[in-house]
Amino acid sequence: MSPNPYRDLPSVDRLLADDCLRSAPTDLATSMAREALDAARAAIAAGDGAPAFDAIVRDITRRIELQVRSPLRPLINATGVIIHTNLGRAPLALEAIEAMATVSGGYSNLEYDIDSGARGSRHTILEPLLCRITGAEAAMAVNNNASAVLLALAAVAAGKEVVVSRGQLVEIGGGFRIPDVMRQSRAKLVEVGTTNRTRIADFEAAITPKTAAIMRVHPSNFKISGFTETPSIEDLARVARDRGVLLIDDVGSGCLLDVSAYGLAPEPTPQASIASGADLVMFSGDKLFGGPQGGLIVGRVAVVDRLKRHPLARAVRMDKASIAGLAATLRIYLEGGAVDRIPVWRMIATPLDALAARAAAIAAAIGDAASVIDGRSMIGGGSLPEESLPTRLVALASSRGRNSTMLAARLRERSVIARVEDGRVLLDPRTIDPADDERVAQACAEALA
């Protein structure tokens, strides 16, 4: 080694001539070689010696692989959180995946009327399905529920007042706050009641000639209990109708089925809101609905048409693949197959004895370091706060030189995302596709080795 370790670093040309790098794209390999050499110089400056030639080549190879590999990777969700926002929320039904792939690989009648040969509207694809399921007169879809709320307020309440209970001024993930959306839509927020108690008289007293709408926002990601009161959607609809203002209902998670059948607290449904007299109802497509990301809007024809004509509608419109996926998901609901064919509902409905059998099989495949314990699965995704389902968990024991944090990291390297509680790594079969059970067991065995 020379007195000056910087002189021991190879040139870019010498590195690119190595057999391991000759087949790599020249521009990319050159750029990554320079980055690797910069990293080597930084290491020398920190007091290390010059890395070996082979080590630099391996570093360059790794950097190239990271560049060409898709940054979005499929993962196995073993956390037990069914609608995991950080892991992409709702997994899609097979029919939805196939429909999205079909329209993405070629042309389609997205905005083309086949009968007339003239331009059509993308709204006509989802509207009949949404109306049939919810009982609404009209419907449309945008790219997410935040956009749905923004568009609705901008179209029907810009420059006017919207009355909302103080207990419903919610914030969802990413800092999305109802008061901020109000400002962006140019609607004026009028707060009524208190955080825990709002009466129908509070809404009646707040309505003025400047009021455009009453808005109910479902607090889907938190729960207030104890000394509480909030008007029913039926009472709000009556007041809105009597006073000549609109009723807008953001029901959040897009729940179309009765969750109480699975021991969970009741969740507002779009169809119940429409039946109660709401003029506009908005909900997410990628939460309890179980489809691709979207903001679904249903309601009265005269009101929904105002949203369709608003300039913001084009800015937040949905793409063809998402429309196809949502249409396929809606057809599953119409056919009565949601519990069997939509993954979110299939996971919610999975009986405890089936989970126990799978957990036992996974633990047996892993070996002595695994055991089966009782646990709870969370719904997640800003849906059904504090609600959970009983489950059976696979617990991995820590040992000398192998703590739970390290073990969870090794599983992540193998694309398995577990949760860590009380110093143990836990895996919940409820959110693992049964087809992946063997792969999860193998990943755990490797991580434990």
Can you give the residue ranges of every domain in the chain?
5-68, 76-84+349-448, 94-341
Four-residue CA torsion sign, 408, 264, 252, 175: negative
pLDDT of residue 2: 64
Q: Which residues contact 439 (CB under 8 A, 6 or more apart)?
A: 76, 416
Q: What is the CATH number of domain 94-341?
A: 3.40.640.10
- Structure tokens given for 333: 């609901």
CA dist 432 and 243 (Å) reads: 51
Average pLDDT of each block of 10 consecutive residues along the chain (449 residues)?
A: 82 93 91 94 89 93 88 93 93 97 95 94 95 98 94 96 88 71 88 90 95 90 73 95 96 92 91 97 95 97 97 95 98 97 97 98 96 94 78 86 85 95 94 97 93
- Structure tokens given for 214: 């009453």
Half-sphere exposure in the Cβ direction for 320 (13 Å, CA): 13
Backbone angles phi, psi at 365, to 5 degrees: -70, -30
> β-pairing, 416-417 with 176-177?
unpaired
CA dist 77 and 432 (Å) reads: 6
CA dist 134 and 298 (Å) reads: 8
pLDDT of residue 400: 56
Which amino acid would we find at residue 258? D
CB 274 within 8 Å of CB 136:
yes
Distance of CA 403 to the CA centre of its chain: 31
CB 404 within 8 Å of CB 420:
yes
CB 413 within 8 Å of CB 342:
no
pTM of the entire predicted model: 0.86
Four-residue CA torsion sign, 262, 268, 274, 280: negative
Apex 157 CA angle, 153 and 161, nearest 5: 115
CA dist 224 and 207 (Å) reads: 26
Rg (CA), the chain: 27
DSSP code for 17: T
Helix (H) or strand (E) holding 281: strand 280-284
Q: Of 391, 357, 356, 365, which Cα lies nearest the Cα of 443?
A: 365
Four-residue CA torsion sign, 416, 419, 425, 428: negative
Q: Which residues contact 314 (CB under 8 A, 6 or more apart)?
A: none
CB 418 within 8 Å of CB 79:
yes
Task: Name the CATH code of domain 76-84+349-448 (choices 1.20.120.160, 3.90.1150.180, 1.10.10.10, 3.10.450.750).
Answer: 3.90.1150.180
CB 346 within 8 Å of CB 430:
no
Give residue-wise pLDDT tens across range 411-426: 999 999 999 998 899 9
- Give the CA diameter of the chain: 90
3-state secondary structure of 232: coil
pLDDT of residue 137: 98
- Structure tokens given for 9: 């670093």
pLDDT of residue 180: 83
pLDDT of residue 171: 74
- Structure tokens given for 321: 């693949």
